[in-house]
Chains A and B, each alone.
Chain A
């Protein structure tokens, strides 16, 4: 396999629901009410319950590891949450290879709401397994 800058990762489209937010709150142990209590969320100026930033990070982590499979390892990734996302709307995770140096590749990753707003943006670094280097 041969990574090239510009290569796009297959999109990962998630369909978060309020049920998933409650499930994630329990699994992570983050019981901040803005993720499951509509009145509380509106009371602090939000449009209603919103996705956990870390749930969106989990989606983007999956985007990378689904694409990478057993070909390599995720070394690091970082994300900034630029906007809020609400359940009931598809969340589209996207990415592309921005640079390749030896066994390492840097990726640009982001999550989009249905209007195409990049509400989460970030980067990831992967290290490809040595045995999988392209042979000439």
Chain B
């Protein structure tokens, strides 16, 4: 078995196992820094999270040290955002993420490792407010 295939196997062992919950409060100052950074001055975002803010509260992807044995760097392949309820200043959000798939693709320019993450975000009432997906690529 090659070194890279054993990395894939070890990563696949994480599939479906939820990581530890991460909780954070949506703070007005953080929202302001975030909307300034993306350059979006829509007034509603003074009190409500703009579409991609949840990634700043808790990342979609978990840190998987063994993935760094593969290739030389990370790329983001894509993201999906699904919204069920608005997220507002003062809300305590709890994020629970997991790996949903791991696979390797070999193309003309070499091999790539794909890790698909899915994170669910819950508000203080325990209601699901958003579901995010991320495709992390090692190259």
A20 to B39, CA, bound (A): 9
Q: Which residues of A contact B75 (CB under 8 A)?
A: 53, 81
A19 to B83, CA, bound (A): 30
The reply to whether the CB of A76 lies closer than 8 angstroms to some CB of chain B is yes
A29, B39: Cβ atoms closer than 8 Å: no
B78, A80: Cβ atoms closer than 8 Å: yes
Instruction: Give 20 new A-B contacts, CB below 8 A, not counting A28-B37, A78-B78.
Output: A26-B37, A27-B30, A30-B59, A34-B73, A44-B73, A53-B77, A53-B78, A54-B55, A57-B81, A58-B38, A58-B52, A61-B50, A62-B40, A65-B42, A70-B44, A77-B51, A78-B80, A79-B78, A79-B80, A80-B77
12 pairs, CB–CB < 8 Å, chain A vs chain B: A23-B37, A27-B34, A27-B37, A28-B37, A53-B76, A53-B79, A58-B51, A61-B52, A62-B39, A64-B51, A79-B79, A80-B77
Taking beta carbons and an 8 Å cutoff, which residues of A are in contact with B?
Answer: 14, 20, 23-24, 26-30, 32, 34, 44-46, 52-55, 57-59, 61-62, 64-66, 70, 73-81, 122
